[in-house]
A and B are shown apart, each in its own frame.
Chain A
């Protein structure tokens, strides 16, 4: 009996259909099996096994028992390990679900240090601080994490907003958890970016984290019409600042001629300080004397008079064109009290007489290089060509000049540029690429924007940011700084707020740079201050500041920084007065303290130094110290007073600092160290002799330590001039001993 069967045509169709279904199923399985991560795991396993076999054999040939055991044990483990595994790091509160280690199997395996990616070891030091099991991978590198093909895992698909950041910019992501890259090992590019950001004054337009209350980048516009005599100079400066000062911080704006004219007209109309200006120069004011004063008083340390001088800080104005630029009446008023004319200027108040000031003014007015004269002739503003002041004011507001140059009436205006955190937050779709051909990634957008700000301009979207002429390396660092400069939305324990010490160190470092202390003082061994070649003698130089926190009492330094007093009256180059607030001085002192080694910092505490107390020491000890100081004739080079004229045989250049100042100024421990080894504590080449020890540490006198202590104690309590010891004969020392030595 035949079985129940369908008709023929349907049965043929069914056969074909089944075959088709089989083919489709095979397709599905094939897609599943050919996944790339399985291939990577296979390759890794083979390579690892091979390496282990080699190591084991090597250990056997070297007869290294422990090595042999270790390698063969690992080899056994690796041989038994055969399955394909998906490795994941799951951190729910951080939103991290990283499958990266599925392909990057060798991430923590030191045997793969030099292999090709993805089977390459991650740099080990940074991984020690950021274990993948605690942080995952995507927090630091960007990318999707939840993906097992190369493009998807790296977030190169458009349903994932944060693609993996290439190595050149990866340091930018440190700032998602770390508040500042200052002194952050591994974030050097980001730190360089931060410094560039501050140096170039970017914070004037773009608000950034940790840069909220910095003083403005450049001088105020109040009274600029009085300060700057030549409207053509202003015009040339706005048009092409590099022509007047190469490597200037002033960017080049893209302005039409008439717009510049309006701005010039606005600026020259700002004559608020006219009333404060000085009258005409007194008789006898001499430009030649001014030239001497320029180097004598230390102006040359900060201000260069050569155009394009590479050794001068970019933060300080170049005075090569001062003759054209500045008005003679303004200079003496400025030198007398800069803060009255520009409240936050870093320019200090120098110790000058009125005559000095006029001498310098005349000297500066004599600086008129011919090439500048030519440039200014071309840029001369005709009388009929005056622009509109109101229009100029509008342009100044529009272009954001007030971001770097404070203007009183524009104080309340918001900053002209976009906040850094805002840009860090933006998604790729929100970044306007305009009509440019820039590759569509966030870092390329940033890089090209900083390099050529007008690149994204379109008809509907005019862009105001001016061109800063920065090198590609600098722009890369700035891009790194910009890329992720805001905290990620993570729980507290992932974020790393900067310690107070680090913030102080950052502020202190910036202060040293802004006030250009390094121009006069040696701050670091090997980096000569700029003033050095202009000093006749080394002994006339400003004091070394290496290890300053170890040397001076912080209380004294605090007072000194607010009002410098004369410590060596015979010098011409004097410490100027800076307008530092309480916190600034505190920060500077704390910063100096941080520059010491940890042991030195322990020994030399801030903000107060504990001083020895008179009652703790017997009068014998003090007297012994006084005896030592007298015998060693310290007073010869360290004068207490100059009433009686200079000691015999001593020239002014050999004089050293007044010893009476030590008890208020120096630290007790440092004094002792200094007496032990002057070269180490006052710099090699110091004129202070090795009294108690030789340079190799061999004692020169019996019981040097005791004597060092006595001398130091005496100096800490010294209140009167120790007399020079009288020359005495042996009769006077020991009377009555008349021995006839001929008997023996």
Chain B
């Protein structure tokens, strides 16, 4: 027996992979269905759905970026402390003392930007192919929520290097929250609800009346825990709905 056969017919292999490699419809089907990660796909699908020039793999790439972000993000978490005394310093240490640190940081940053761009392009594609029309309306709404989640993930991550770009970008961004009508200390009609900088919408977001250590920690938790979980949850629903709504859209 060839080595390949020896391995693929051993008990260990067969306990993990429940299909063979011979080109039979059964094997092809099993390869999809018996795989925890691949069984999201339908077993068969129309050829038209495979055309790259239809979807441009935008949705899939967005999800891939999310996975890249998760992996690089976890690796970065080993070297980063979300307190004002260490945050900036840790960025510098990543750059110099951590092996591949700069590469890791760059990957995380650019994959993040790529994810935002890709999600917007994906939205454009779905619109232009009318793939939001019934029965896919709810999935579109879930997609909009995912868009917001992606933007928020990027926004919360923007603060973490704790440099001038970060601080002032988030200051500008949250100042707008302070301008919320009724709920923001700088918005119209805020006196009606006795809202002031110590208890307004901005304070709720930042944990303080200015961007400070509280904001840093809060954003860190949002960025690393809450928003990925929410995003994962929404993606779960999104992918499920794609299947249940009849797969990638095609002319009826």
Contact = CB atoms under 8 A, between A and B. Distances in A.
A149 to B, nearest CB: 8
B113 interface: no
Contacts of A88: 97
A144 B103 CA distance: 21
Contacts of B24: 1
A703 B206 CA distance: 92
Interface stretch (A2-10, A172-180, A561-569, A732-740): A2-10
A4 B103 contact: no
A148 interface: yes
A148 B22 CA distance: 54
Most chain B CB within 10 A, of A92, A99, A146, is at A146
A310 to B, nearest CB: 54
B27 interface: yes
Interface string A141-167: 000101111001000000100000000
A97 B95 CA distance: 14
A4 B31 CA distance: 10
A148 B97 contact: yes
A159 B96 CA distance: 15
Contact of B89 (A5, A97, A148): A97
A212 B28 CA distance: 89
Nearest to B85: A92
Nearest to B28: A4
Interface in B105-164: 163
Contacts of A86: 97
A1 B96 contact: no
Interface in B21-64: 21-24, 27-28, 31
Nearest to A159: B163
B100 A147 contact: no
B92 A28 contact: no
A213 interface: no
Given A92-B85, A97-B89, A159-B163, A4 B97 contact: no
B93 interface: yes
B244 interface: no
Contacts of A28: 100, 103
A2 B22 CA distance: 6
Interface in A419-439: none
B6 interface: no
A147 B93 CA distance: 8
A31 B103 contact: yes
Contacts of A32: 99-100, 103
Contacts of B163: 159
A4 B100 contact: no
A4 B99 contact: no
Nearest to A144: B92
A3 B23 contact: yes
Contacts of A1: 22-24
A92 B84 CA distance: 13
Nearest to A2: B23
A4 B22 contact: yes
Nearest to B86: A92
Contact of B21 (A4, A146, A147, A149): A4
Nearest to B89: A97
Interface string B205-233: 00000000000000000000000000000
Nearest to A148: B96
B23 A99 contact: no
How many chain B residues sit at the interface, stated as a range, is 10 to 19
A146 B100 contact: no
Contacts, number: 43
Contacts of A149: 96
A713 B92 CA distance: 76
A28 B102 CA distance: 10
A146 B28 contact: no
Most chain A CB within 10 A, of B89, B99, B163, is at B89
Interface in A452-472: none
Contacts of B103: 28, 31-32
Contact of B23 (A4, A97, A152): A4
Nearest to A146: B92
A32 B99 CA distance: 7
Contacts of A146: 89, 92-93, 96
Nearest to B100: A32
B89 to A, nearest CB: 6
Interface string B52-86: 00000000000000000000000000000000010
Interface in B162-180: 163
B18 to A, nearest CB: 14
Nearest to A1: B22
Contacts of B23: 1-5
A680 B214 CA distance: 73
A685 B195 CA distance: 91
B5 to A, nearest CB: 11
A150 to B, nearest CB: 12
Given A4-B31, A28-B103, A32-B103, A99 B22 contact: no
Contacts of B93: 97, 146
Contacts of A31: 103
A28 B107 CA distance: 11
Contacts of A5: 23
B97 A3 contact: no
Contact of A99 (B28, B96, B99, B100): B96
A163 to B, nearest CB: 15
A389 to B, nearest CB: 51
Most chain A CB within 10 A, of B23, B27, B92, B96, is at B96
Contacts of B21: 3-4
Nearest to B24: A1
A33 to B, nearest CB: 10
Interface in A1-39: 1-5, 28, 31-32
Contacts of A92: 85
Nearest to A149: B96
Most chain B CB within 10 A, of A4, A149, A152, is at A4
Nearest to A35: B96
Contacts of B92: 97, 144, 146-147
A674 to B, nearest CB: 65
A85 to B, nearest CB: 11
Interface in A79-133: 86, 88, 92, 97, 99
Contacts of A147: 92, 95-96
B61 to A, nearest CB: 14
A306 to B, nearest CB: 60
B40 to A, nearest CB: 19
A31 B99 CA distance: 11
A692 to B, nearest CB: 72
B60 to A, nearest CB: 15
Interface in A669-716: none
Interface in A299-339: none
Contacts of A97: 89, 92-93
A191 B84 CA distance: 38
Nearest to A27: B103
Contacts of A3: 21-23
A519 to B, nearest CB: 57
28 contacts: A1-B23, A1-B24, A2-B22, A2-B23, A3-B21, A3-B22, A3-B23, A4-B21, A4-B22, A4-B28, A28-B100, A32-B99, A32-B100, A32-B103, A88-B97, A92-B85, A97-B89, A97-B92, A144-B92, A146-B89, A146-B92, A146-B96, A147-B95, A148-B96, A148-B97, A149-B96, A152-B96, A159-B163
Q: Which 9 residue pairs spanning A and B have beta carbons closest together? A: A146-B92, A148-B96, A1-B22, A3-B21, A4-B23, A2-B23, A86-B97, A28-B103, A4-B21
Interface of B: 21-24, 27-28, 31, 85, 89, 92-93, 95-97, 99-100, 103, 163
Given A32-B100, A99-B96, 5 more contacts: A4-B22, A92-B85, A97-B92, A147-B92, A148-B97
